[in-house]
Amino acid sequence: MYLPRTFLESTGLKRGLPAIFVHTPKCGGSFIAEGIGRRRERHCFTRRHPLLKGHKMWTEYRDLFPRLGRDIHDYMTFSVVRNPWDWHVSFFHYIRQMTGRYREIFAEEHAELNRISFAEYLAWIDDPDRPKPGWLDEATRNVCDWVVDEAGEIAVDVVMRQENLEADFQAFIDAYGLRLQVPKARVNTSDHKDFRTYYSDPEVEIVARRHVRDVALFGYSFDA
């Protein structure tokens, strides 16, 4: 996609800043789409090319781009991360509440997560011998996997946080001189409570153990 910095770029008469949104699942996707413009976001070649669809990691884009005659380093890349304890609660409820075509696509996950509790979901994620269909395979990863290289170093140019997304998006706009506006304050339409209420001590420890790299890289904890 091309992000506008001038009036002519905002009208589409000139190309703007070449950019790629590395979309970590359940991390600010709707907010970012609204902020950069849903039409602009939908027409990004990463959304339209069959090889690039889905929640691709930075390393996947890097390795796939040469097949399309492109280089990831020619693009400014940005992403959003999230507290992993909150991330799992969001994952769990998102799959449970799926409707329409997504519910049909992820029918197996939807049915199973409506049958089990959140504690059972985490036990499933933590069981290496139990198959993880579709979205549940993504939930076995660290949040940082989408934004780091093989050495574990942050590879994207800008990392925003779900917990501070309005302010981080404004800082992103200011840093690159973009003609974008921060979306209006988000309204939480989900029916789940504060993520901490879903955890007992054993579940807190499961996430802490599985997300050691997220904690080390971003400083997240169960309480912050």
Higher-confidence residue of 142 and 41: namely 142
Low-confidence winner among 16-20, 53-57, 79-83, 199-203 (lowest mean pLDDT)? 53-57
User: Model-level pTM?
Assistant: 0.86
pLDDT at 145: 96
C-alpha span between 217 and 150 (Å, rounded) = 14
Higher-confidence residue of 80 and 103: namely 80
Low-confidence winner among 98-102, 109-113, 167-171, 215-219 (lowest mean pLDDT)? 98-102
Q: What is the pLDDT of residues 163-181, one digit of tens each?
A: 999 999 999 999 999 999 9
What the block records as the tokens of 145 is 């996997």
C-alpha span between 113 and 108 (Å, rounded) = 9
C-alpha span between 71 and 101 (Å, rounded) = 33
Q: Is the pLDDT of residue 190 over 60?
A: no
* Alpha helices (H) along 97-196: 100-105, 107-113, 118-126, 135-138, 165-176
CB-based burial of residue 134 (10 Å sphere; 0-12 exposed, 13-18 middle, 19+ buried)? middle
What residues does 17 pair with on adjacent strands?
3
pLDDT at 95: 80
For 120-131, what is the mean pLDDT? 86
Other Cβ atoms less than 10 A from the Cβ of 163: the count is 14
What the block records as the tokens of 49 is 């090319």
Sign of the CA dihedral running 64, 69, 73, 77: negative
- Neighbouring residues of 192: CB distance < 8 A, sequence distance ≥ 6: 89, 90, 93, 198
Which of helix, strand or coil describes residue 70?
coil
Task: Please choose, from the candidates 198, 82, 116, 224, the residue with its C-alpha nearest in 3D space to the C-alpha of residue 127.
Answer: 116
